[in-house]
Amino acid sequence: MTYVLFRYLHFLAIFVLAGTIVIENIASKPTISGEDARNLAKVDAAYGASAGFVLLFGLLLWFVVGKPSEFYTNNPVFLLKVALFALIGLLSLFPTLFFIKHRKSTAETIVMPRHLIVLLRIELVVLCILPVLAFLMARGIGLPS
């Protein structure tokens, strides 16, 4: 039962994470209003919290409940999935710092640097690869025979 609960919470956190990345991509434009910046800071905070929960429940599934940890640790497809998740986290640092800087902005318009928009787009593309890797991993692809 614990496995099912953690699996569900892991999926729920993944859905929130995906939703926040999509919202950030939709709302990010070359110029945004101060209100947009404040709202994006809130969305980014939800993104950070959901990423933390994805990591927490993922680690619990990896090391505490469910399949033996060797099932995951010895699978290069899983390790690639973890590496891409970490890459998404690293890519999100610069947009997060921008949103934190402007979270209390009263400016009418704020110029959003082009590289931040590109980083958000890359995050979304990398995120789209993760379900494919999860599907392959769940089918045992990558496990030594």
143 in a structural domain: no
Give the number of domains in the chain.
1
131 in a structural domain: yes
- In the numeric block, which tokens belong to residue 42? 């809130």
- Taking only the tens of pLDDT, the chain with its 145 residues reads 899 999 999 999 999 999 999 999 999 999 999 999 999 999 999 999 999 999 999 999 999 998 888 888 889 999 999 999 999 999 999 999 999 999 998 889 999 999 999 999 999 999 999 999 999 988 888 888 7
The residue ranges of DSSP E strands in the chain, in sequence order, are 31-33, 109-111
15 in a structural domain: yes
145 in a structural domain: no
What is residue 144's three-state secondary structure? coil
| Structural domain range at position 132 | 2-137
Tell me how many degrees the CA angle 79-56-84 measures, rounded to the nearest 5: 30
24 in a structural domain: yes
pTM score, whole prediction: 0.92
144 in a structural domain: no
